[in-house]
Chain A
């Protein structure tokens, strides 16, 4: 075989791929210009984006931050040049945030929302220190006190109801069995709130007047109002929705019928009709003479509304769970509540995270509806601002600002849900 001239013994080094298939050019060829129709689409899209930007950018970048009225803006922008009038935002953004909350107390809502972050951190992120969990259940009382002010004894008295309920359970359960304990734990706090909490708080505050200036609900407005209503409804609707979903899945015929009736009724009517109920009818349903706060009434209705939707989402999660899980929990000898708590709920809730978060987003967006019954949420305030002589005729800037704020809140919520899904994912 000596006539074999040359046999390569070592491999040739790899050559770089052709320049047209890698890098920016390759990417563009693959994703933008593969085929005639795609190229046409790409060009059309680029033209579309150019027109949008050409129309938006000069408008967005108009130097009107200092203007104090629409006329001043027009002077700055000059004739024939339609730029945005950002003066309205720089002048009114505090109002859009806090409504008519007294400016000297702005620190209170700010503190309340910062502390909300602290209270939620250990629930939302497992890198946060665990000790913060102690603060979380205390926050609702503390936050409400910061926002509404008044004597500190009222929230403490409300909190005392839960503490009393806990001890009632411990004492009675040890003496007369767990079921009697549950009944006592439900009964004692209710009796306390209905009959004792008010007088006790009143007496304590006359003895030891610790408190901050009370702020009327009428002063609430802007994003503060949206977030207050939204966060309350979100936090209360999840447990209520889980209970309703369990009721709907239950074998007990009457309980099931009640839950189905409630869920279908609430889901069948628009939120705005429920808000009409809150603004006009809820006082009629209460004992004569009762007149409680409009924000509280709205919170109750929004919570019930959100709970019905939440119940359907959770029910979807429960239904998606294989029957084997229920049977395995039974086979382990767990009772109903233990099975739910240890086996069913952790999995069902994990499945329903996307639905739960989109319900949250929906509830937060729906808080804008309170402007229709006359509360001054950002949208309600925008009407007031547009009616002002200095800003009469302003449209885009103020709606754009409100839309941007809502977008930031809702978009970050949806991103968080994606993060949570990734974190809890156990499949491959």
Chain B
């Protein structure tokens, strides 16, 4: 017969902090924390001492001063008398514009190339392989300057469009002019527009037309979703799916068309006046080059992701779905695609993130994004390295973290629920 006895009481010794697993992790963490704080403190004290020596304490007052430089590609009103802060906002919007445009075209191109690379046509799949290897193995910065050079060197100058013996002509029934100074496209105009409303104390203006269009579009899509859900319910109950595509399309398009007509929507076409084109929206070479190069480059990566995603779905899935009696397009949409997307989406989004970060290379072709305005000219003019670079980093960090938040949300939604 044994009795339970407590283990011998050990008095606490200093060496237990290291050798006793109960305390060791706490010891390591405290040491790491102290080391980290010491490092941060050291850096901050160095910075403070250096800034004091230079005679420029941290001060964000420069943001309110007039910027004094021009930005030719912009979404909102800006002139050289506007503040550095506004210049930074223009830059941020330019970053977002090229990122969004780039992500869309890169996805479209990447999906096409990825699917064609799996084609059983030998020559097509080889061409796509060459494309992917060519773009993946050459730096994106080189592609950007290369595309810029192509645009400047090979496209006709605006004067080539002039006169009776014009060597160049506008495309898409005289509505788009592709020149070596950029591309001129028609701009949307509203003859009965609603005007703008000022926000943030008159510093920005948001077009009411745009808001109205977005609201109507959103409502149309919501209505179409309701119709789809109703069709789903009917199918679940009766097995027959009512044909709804014309109803859904109409719900989106008809109100939009009515609104556009009510607003007096028309297009302003670019026209050659003197030595240059007037009217229309002018997409400068720098934007086109950056957009094109980033899309082509990222498309190569997306193509590989799409290919891997499709190949990751085993053939048995397709065969099993076929054995259940599903038609090929239903197999694709109900069985293969949902599983492939689970593999494709996370790396796809991290490629969007890379594209957004690579858009900072705009500085190489003179596109004024946030790197070009805040961390470029503003930095050089005000000499505020610490403030501008920190602000720029925070902006990119905010963009990245919001994209990762979307990714995590999606990942959690489609995660396979396992044991």
Chain A residues engaging chain B, CB cutoff 8 angstroms: 31-32, 34, 38, 41-42, 45-46, 48-49, 179, 251-255, 258, 264-265, 267-273, 276-277, 280-281, 283-288, 361, 365-366, 368-369, 371-372, 379, 395-396, 399, 402-403, 406-407, 410-411, 414
Contact = CB atoms under 8 A, between A and B. Distances in A.
Nearest to A27: B122
A351 to B, nearest CB: 15
A366 B139 contact: yes
Nearest to B33: A254
B279 to A, nearest CB: 31
Contacts of B19: 179
Contacts of B228: none
Among B36, B137, B396, B401, which residue has the most Cβ atoms of chain A within 10 A? B137
Interface stretch (B47-55, B186-194, B324-332): B47-55
B385 A273 contact: no
Contact of A253 (B29, B145, B400, B404): B29
A270 B392 CA distance: 10
Given A31-B122, A270-B396, 8 more contacts: A31-B120, A42-B123, A49-B127, A252-B25, A254-B29, A276-B385, A286-B50, A410-B138
B74 interface: no
8 contacts: A42-B123, A255-B32, A276-B389, A285-B47, A361-B136, A395-B149, A410-B137, A411-B133
A368 B141 contact: yes
B396 A284 contact: no
B72 interface: no
A403 B142 CA distance: 7
B167 interface: no
A399 B124 contact: no
Contacts of A273: 360, 371, 375, 389, 392-393, 396
A421 to B, nearest CB: 14
A277 B388 CA distance: 11
B76 interface: no
A179 B137 CA distance: 45
Contact of B364 (A255, A267, A372, A403): A372
B6 interface: no
B52 to A, nearest CB: 9
Contacts of B136: 361, 410
A410 B137 CA distance: 5
Contacts, number: 151
B43 interface: yes
A42 B122 CA distance: 8
B18 interface: yes
A139 B325 CA distance: 65
B217 interface: no
A288 B50 contact: yes
What class of interface size applies to chain B in its complex with A? 35 or more
A368 B143 CA distance: 11
Nearest to B52: A288
B386 interface: yes
B385 A399 contact: no
Contacts of B396: 268-270, 273
B50 A284 contact: yes
A411 to B, nearest CB: 5
B59 interface: no
A320 B12 CA distance: 41
Contacts of A268: 396-397, 400-401
A174 B120 CA distance: 66
A258 B133 CA distance: 37
B348 to A, nearest CB: 16
B113 interface: no
Contact of B400 (A34, A269, A283): A269
Contacts of A32: 121-123
Contacts of B389: 273, 276-277, 280-281
Contact of B120 (A34, A254, A366, A371): A34
A285 B119 CA distance: 54
Contacts of B138: 365, 403, 406-407, 410
A254 B396 CA distance: 25
Given A270-B360, A288-B53, A38 B385 contact: no
Contacts of B47: 284-285
B123 A407 contact: no
B312 interface: no
Interface string B105-141: 0000000000000011111100100000110111111
Given A179-B18, A254-B32, A365-B138, A286 B385 contact: no
A407 B25 contact: no
A417 to B, nearest CB: 13
Interface in B15-32: 18-19, 25, 28-30, 32
B375 A369 contact: no
Interface string B43-83: 10011011101000000000000000000000000000000
Contacts of A410: 136-138
B177 to A, nearest CB: 23
A411 B137 CA distance: 6
Contacts of B124: 41-42, 45
